[in-house]
Chains A and B, each alone.
Chain A
Amino acid sequence: MSSLYEEISAPPAAGVPVRRVTLNVNGQDRTVDVEPRLLLAHLLRQGLKLTGTHTGCDTSNCGACTVLFDGRPIKSCTMFAVQADGHEVQTVEGLATQSSLHPLQEGFKEEHGLQCGFCTPGMMMAAKALLESNPNPTEDEIRWAISGNLCRCTGYQNIVKAILWAAEKMRGSSN
């Protein structure tokens, strides 16, 4: 357990409220003191140094900040860190183990599902949620599931293929 307020910013000025929050990130419990207005995305990026979660807009449209919140994809720029108290968060950094990549990571590389890579962590987290509830999605189901995530580089076709690639691999390994 550590208090990470200092890592987020200077100690709070007099009168600035601070809340203690405990959340589980990628399987590890973390306790942090935060201002109530701190966004979850900023806690992850600046406080917990998990910079794989990106922010690409101010209006909850781009999905670059997508993480799994108790297993459901959410936009972490649209949630306060204090709302995560007692909850589980999964970020892109939790996808791979030391020895192996997640099938989605392999699929994105194999099918050229990324170019600049900025949307990629959010895309993969949205896709993970989809495949966990629907192991055999159609192309349309995939397109719908990632329609909250913008990609400016790829034109999506290869992202769809990457997710299909991962779905197939995951089905193969679970049989």
Chain B
Amino acid sequence: MALDEIKIGGMGASRRRVEDNRFIRGKGNYVDDIVLPAMLHMEILRSPMAHARIKSIDVSKAWEIPGVRLVLTGEMLAARNLAWMPTLSYDTQAVMAMDKVRFQGQEVAAVIADDPYIAKDACEAIRVEYEALPVIVNPMQAMAPGAALIRDDKENQTDNKVFDWEVGDRAGTDKAFAEADLISKIELHYPRSHPSPIETCGSIADFDRATGKLTVYMTTQAPHIIRAAVAMVAELPEHMIRIVSPDLGGGFGNKVPVYPGYVISILASILTERPVKWIEDKTGNLISTGFGRDVYLQGELAVRKDGKMLGVRMHTISDHGAFFADAQPSKFKIGLMHSAFACYDIPVAHLTATGTYTNKAPGGVAYRCSFRVTEAMFFQERMVQAAADDLGMDQAEFRRINFVKDDDFPHRTAYGFLTDSGQYGKCLDVGLEAIDYKNFLVQKEEAKKRGRLLGIGISTMTEPLGAGNSREYDILGIKMFDSAELRVHMSGKAILRTGAKSQGQGHETTWAQIVAHELGIPADDIVVEEGDTDTAPFGMGTYASRSTPVAGAAVAMVSRKIRAKARKIAAHLLEVSEEDVEWELGRFYVRSSPDRGVTIQDCAMAAYSNMPDGMEPGLENNAYYDPPNLTWPFACYISTVEVDPETGVWDVLKVVAVDDCGVRINPMIVEGQIMGGLTEAYAMASMQFITYDVEGNCVGSNYMDYLLPTAWETPGFELHEVVTPCPHHPIGAKGIGECATVGGPASFVNAVMDALRGTGVRNIDMPLLADRVYEAIQTGKDISGAPPIKTEE
């Protein structure tokens, strides 16, 4: 009899997590927990200025402190050709500033010492003389005539522009707008934000002169990419580099790029011939490592009187900081911004994008996001609400009539993406019912009569997850596939390794469930390992919700290869031809007499002890999976809020999430991902942002200024599911990790704007701080959050 899949921890089981066993005991193995013999400690001195010429650096006092082993400056790096490094967006980035500093927090020097306290003391003893230069903190300043040139290091760079780019059908869109009954417009700023995992970045570089091998333990979501980058930058051969990504205390895109700290620690280890540990402090993390967003979004939607969307125009102006270091693998300059409106049936669209340098930290990482889809979907859903308002149409109905219909798949979007499946209308219905939409509208009107402001916000979207396919997506030329390697031992227990890297998503638990589903080996019998480039197959890592769409698919494919070999062994053991062998979960049997069968464990044993003549012994294999397309999960998030007109404070009354991420491997983990994502969505809507004052000082450099919601503010969430399997994924799964972060913010903002309907206010930029909401209510005017918000002058 076939096994009960749930009992063996297969697909669909809310299997409790394997990794928890060490985390709940305090036995996780994060990079700062690792101690190597004779290890030294590194601290980085950062620039207090946002834009300034370095006149001199005096490190002599630092050298005088007992316990200091090495002091590094940009000049010393330059002597080894390490002062600059390539970024993931084909720009260059300073590892340490030499000529000038270009943002506050930039690396200026480093001290390597016997302990971290001494290294900090010594950093304070370094004297740097700066000559202030004009500071640019937003794209408008950057593009103003006569603006100071930030990247004077680059030949042929005469202004602060990074790129001009466009996509879509300009002429067709113009025509659609000419024919429209109504054109609705909106202008937004998606503020700069930081992924801010609680664990900061860090590394321990350990260069062994005797073997020539460099081992780096580090906080990375993509160990193999790092190995390729280190090979390039440090000019070491790949087989002499081992990158180990131990347990990560969260990532959210922050731990994808190569940061100067990693490179400096590597050089320090090569020079001292001792292991060098660098653990970034929180301020260093917030002011220097990859931020997300910081985009001005302008657009308009052409609609017909009956509500049909006819065309959309978008223009984005993005602020990339001092170096163009967007961590994204597409050839599109502004990432997947043009995935906007993918769930709506719109004939034509056009997008123009301008990117600028500013004196702010570089980054542009996909913060719980697939490369700007968060901005895209936020714009989309704010635009949709504004257009529904302008039309005087119900916001749910407006969405529904424009959705791509269930039987219209595959669907080519106006910007050229191919979506493959979905039940958008059904998801919306489930959401509306859960929030009791009709009733709420009635309640809202009644409350209004008594001076209470209630609002409801809807956000519906499909987004492209799981980069990529090798035709369109690569990093440094390496195609965006992923991999899995499975070894089944003779007892039928197994070890699985993948090229992905968990940061809390629970791969050790879910990957085993996929193997259990494919092979019938109980999940508890399968160990999962990731993160060590010496043992894991080459993969592109975990971000952009690509683990399940790509590495998860590779896990299914390698299991199928194993099953194909096991089938041959089974035929041999059962003494029948392979065609006469049938499979049910965990067991092969003879078609004509189902009682005669052998288990997968029997086959495993035979693979080492009794294989058919001529068959290679063993039961192991690997699979490299290049997805045919992105996956397109759909989500509907609806929230209700109450705004206090006296104070501008708003409270969330209820949040409903309906997610269709295809087949769910582990429902418990999927729900955990959704709730985590919703919390970050709420954070961005309500409090979390990084801004800069006119001098380029980062406001948001610690957790007192950069606010993350606590358990107290965070609302409760009600989750619902719809399942439309992904047609091209081997187990029908789509990505889920980022959906709620991407789609969530608009539901909160739309809800507050709905509460303010009738006050004349059309937009308040995120975060919707109470003072912004209050000011909007008082003045009846929109509030722009574009930094600098207020200048003292």
Contact = CB atoms under 8 A, between A and B. Distances in A.
Interface of A: 8-10, 13-14, 35, 37-38, 45-46, 49-59, 61-62, 64, 91-93, 95-96, 101, 105, 108-110, 112, 114-121, 124, 142-144, 146-160
Contact of B198 (A49, A62, A146): A62
B198 A115 contact: no
Given A115-B504, A147-B712, A109 B17 contact: yes
Contacts, number: 181
B250 A116 contact: yes
B708 A150 contact: yes
A56 B199 contact: yes
Given A61-B703, A143-B711, A160-B711, A10 B114 contact: yes
Interface stretch (B489-497, B617-625, B670-678): B670-678
17 contacts: A9-B117, A10-B114, A49-B35, A50-B26, A51-B30, A52-B26, A54-B198, A56-B199, A57-B282, A59-B282, A92-B25, A93-B26, A108-B24, A117-B504, A152-B196, A152-B676, A154-B675
B197 interface: yes
Contacts of A92: 25-26
B66 interface: yes
Closest A-B pairs by Cβ, 8 of them: A52-B26, A117-B23, A118-B249, A116-B504, A115-B504, A61-B703, A92-B26, A155-B675
The size bracket of the interface on B is 35 or more
B249 A56 contact: yes
Contact of B505 (A8, A54, A115, A160): A115
B199 A146 contact: no
B665 to A, nearest CB: 14
B66 A118 contact: no
B179 interface: no
The winner among B30, B114, B115, B249 for most chain A CB atoms within 10 A is: B249
Given A117-B28, A118-B30, A121-B26, A157 B675 contact: yes
A114 B33 CA distance: 19
A114 B23 contact: yes
Given A51-B33, A153-B504, A116 B283 contact: no
A98 to B, nearest CB: 11
Contacts of B647: none
A56 B286 CA distance: 12
Contacts of A55: 32
Interface in B8-59: 16-17, 19-28, 30, 32-33, 35
Interface of A is mostly: loop
A11 B76 CA distance: 30
B250 A153 contact: yes
A37 B117 contact: yes
Nearest to A110: B16
Given A61-B703, A147-B711, A124 B24 contact: yes
B246 to A, nearest CB: 12
B248 A59 contact: no
A112 B117 contact: no
Interface in B99-122: 114-115, 117-118
Given A92-B25, A109-B21, 15 more contacts: A10-B115, A51-B33, A101-B24, A108-B20, A109-B16, A112-B671, A114-B504, A115-B676, A116-B198, A116-B251, A120-B24, A124-B24, A152-B676, A152-B680, A154-B676
Interface of B: 16-17, 19-28, 30, 32-33, 35, 66-67, 114-115, 117-118, 196-200, 247-252, 281-283, 503-506, 668-669, 671-672, 675-680, 702-704, 708, 710-712, 714, 716-717
A54 B708 contact: no
A121 B24 CA distance: 7
A156 B679 contact: yes
Contact of B710 (A49, A112, A150, A154): A150
B17 A152 contact: no
Nearest to A15: B66
Contact of A93 (B25, B252, B668): B25
Contacts of B24: 101, 105, 108-109, 114, 117, 120, 124
A59 to B, nearest CB: 5
Contacts of B714: 155-157
Nearest to B669: A112
B717 A157 contact: yes
Contacts of A51: 26, 30, 32-33
A93 B55 CA distance: 50
B16 A120 contact: no
Contacts of A117: 19-20, 22-24, 28, 247, 249, 504
B117 A156 contact: no
B675 A116 contact: no
A6 to B, nearest CB: 11
A102 to B, nearest CB: 9
B157 to A, nearest CB: 36
B706 to A, nearest CB: 9
A149 B714 CA distance: 13
A144 B33 CA distance: 30
Given A52-B26, A115-B505, A57 B16 contact: no
B703 A57 contact: yes
